[in-house]
């Protein structure tokens, strides 16, 4: 990123001088590297945005508004990120029909449920590749095959999957895919939307107007340094992916086994195997997660997604698993990453064990446990 923060400071849309040419070359180089990283056939299928939230909005709103008057039905999942769910609600207010499908007790979506939800009016299905709270991996390839049979587009929020799992949009059959840099150690403030150009060629109504950048689909001056950092971060993750996934999976299992041994009353949320290697979401019997977090300032964990941090209500993802509000309010999510080693796992185990024990000694803790 460093050259584009200082020496090569040109605007990539400036076509009349060398500063603009250098910036444009950096953007197009990054576009090609990102396309290769997700198995896209054409670099022009990558549209730069400010992050996954914007990419999700551009995908859903853009597809729906471009098809207005022809098809008006969109299918998604109850455990999606608010960037998708809130956009679906906005489209519902615009007159579109929305179907939100349930998941099973382990967070998995049944592809047959998608098939049953499709109708002649269905325009788009949106299914997250890897859930941001419970790490569950959805069966995208099976869902894509059903969508293709009915000539329905498939979008996936893959913010948590790109860089952490092998992923090819061509092999999966996904038509639109949202992802961003900061979920894989790149800079905050930049993301991308993969938009299939052939078989089918997708029509997309832009959310913004003016400037004409990104073929008019997302106008605005491109952040060259962020885009360069985005592409390099994805490449670094891809280079280290197999070994890093195995390392994180072992550390995650060490954390889960340690919690069960030292704390007790620990229940895993989400599928035990079909999940991200660095994700662990568990409930602690008889303990509220907000009380635990108040005791764990030196452990970076949360009770839900970062976008929901600070909200008082129980996680909509956990409630969709059917575990009930009380148990949902006892959950913590641990994210393991490049900086996590055995020392960090052991530190977290010690701190969480002390916090849970202290909370369970509080007056009324037994009553809360029986209520659960």
Query: Do 181 and 308 share a domain, yes or no?
Result: no
- CATH assignment of the domain containing 177: 3.40.640.10
Boundaries of domain holding 312: 241-371
Give the chain's residues under pLDDT 50: 366-367, 369-372
Give the pLDDT of residue 48: 98
Q: Which residues contact 16 (CB under 8 A, 6 or more apart)?
A: none
- CATH assignment of the domain containing 341: 3.90.1150.10
Is the four-CA dihedral 235, 241, 247, 252 of positive or negative sign? positive
Query: Do 221 and 302 share a domain, yes or no?
Result: no
Give the pLDDT of residue 310: 53
Tally of CA atoms within 13 A in the half-sphere of 46 that contains its CB: 27
Query: Do 296 and 221 share a domain, yes or no?
Result: no
Count how many domains the chain has: 2
- Are 179 and 48 a contacting pair, CB within 8 Å? no
Q: Would you mind telling me the total number of residues written for the chain in this entry?
A: 372
Query: Do 83 and 204 share a domain, yes or no?
Result: yes
Query: Do 159 and 37 share a domain, yes or no?
Result: yes
Give the pLDDT of residue 201: 84
Domain end point (choices 235, 255, 284): 235
Query: Do 57 and 10 share a domain, yes or no?
Result: yes
The set of catalytic residues is: 307
Query: Do 265 and 363 share a domain, yes or no?
Result: yes
In 3-state terms the chain splits into helix, strand, coil percentages (rounded to 5) of 45, 15, 40
- Are 337 and 183 a contacting pair, CB within 8 Å? no
> Cα(120)–Cα(138) distance, rounded to whole angstroms?
24
Query: Do 208 and 261 share a domain, yes or no?
Result: no
Tally of CA atoms within 13 A in the half-sphere of 127 that contains its CB: 31
The span from the first CA to the last CA of the chain, in angstroms, equals 50
Burial of 274 (0-12, 13-18, 19+ CB in 10 A): middle
Domain end point (choices 179, 204, 235): 235
Give the pLDDT of residue 200: 85
Is the four-CA dihedral 217, 218, 221, 226 of positive or negative sign? negative
Query: Do 197 and 285 share a domain, yes or no?
Result: no
Query: Do 198 and 110 share a domain, yes or no?
Result: yes
Q: Cis check for the bond before 241: say yes or no (omega within 30 of 0).
A: no
Query: Do 175 and 251 share a domain, yes or no?
Result: no
Please compute Rg for the chain using Cα positions. 22
Concatenating the DSSP letter of every residue in 13-56 gives T--SSHHHHHHHHHHHHHHHHHHHHTT-S-GGGEEEESSHHHHH
> Cα(43)–Cα(28) distance, rounded to whole angstroms?
8
Query: Do 215 and 251 share a domain, yes or no?
Result: no
> Cα(315)–Cα(308) distance, rounded to whole angstroms?
8
Tell whether pTM > 0.85. Answer: yes
- Are 154 and 147 a contacting pair, CB within 8 Å? yes
Domain end point (choices 235, 269, 292): 235
Give the pLDDT of residue 164: 96
């Amino acid at each position: 990123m460093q050259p584009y923060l200082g020496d090569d400071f040109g605007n990539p849309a400036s076509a009349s001088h060398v500063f603009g040419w250098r910036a444009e070359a950096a953007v197009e180089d990054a576009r090609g590297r990102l396309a290769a990283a997700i198995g896209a056939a054409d670099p022009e299928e990558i549209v730069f945005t400010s992050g996954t939230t914007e990419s999700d909005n551009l995908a859903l709103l853009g597809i729906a508004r471009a098809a207005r008057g022809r098809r008006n039905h969109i299918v998604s999942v109850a455990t999606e990120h608010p960037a998708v769910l809130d956009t679906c609600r906005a489209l519902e207010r615009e007159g579109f029909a929305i179907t939100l499908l349930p998941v099973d007790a382990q967070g998995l979506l049944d592809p047959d449920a998608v098939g049953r939800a499709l109708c002649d009016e269905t325009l788009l299905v949106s299914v997250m590749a890897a859930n941001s709270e419970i790490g569950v991996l959805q069966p995208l390839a099976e869902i894509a095959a059903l969508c293709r049979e009915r000539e329905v587009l498939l979008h996936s929020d893959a913010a948590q999957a790109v860089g952490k799992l092998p992923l090819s949009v061509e092999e999966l059959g996904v038509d639109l895919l949202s992802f961003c840099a900061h979920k894989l150690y790149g800079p905050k403030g930049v993301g991308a939307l993969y938009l299939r150009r052939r078989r089918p060629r997708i029509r997309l109504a832009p959310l913004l107007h003016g400037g004409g950048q990104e073929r008019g689909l997302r106008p605005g001056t491109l952040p060259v340094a962020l885009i360069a950092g985005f592409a390099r971060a994805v490449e670094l993750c891809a280079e280290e992916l197999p070994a890093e996934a195995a390392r994180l999976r072992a550390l995650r299992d060490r954390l889960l086994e340690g919690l069960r041994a030292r704390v007790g009353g620990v229940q895993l949320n989400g599928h035990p195997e079909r999940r991200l290697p660095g994700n662990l979401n568990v409930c602690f019997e008889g303990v509220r997660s907000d009380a635990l977090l108040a005791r764990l300032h030196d452990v970076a964990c949360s009770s839900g997604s970062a976008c929901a941090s600070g909200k008082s209500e129980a996680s909509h993802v956990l409630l969709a698993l059917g575990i009930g509000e009380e148990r949902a309010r006892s959950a913590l999510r641990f994210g393991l990453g490049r900086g996590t080693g055995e020392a960090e796992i052991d530190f977290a185990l010690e701190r969480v064990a002390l916090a849970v024990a202290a909370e369970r000694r509080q007056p009324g803790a037994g009553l809360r446990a029986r209520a659960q």
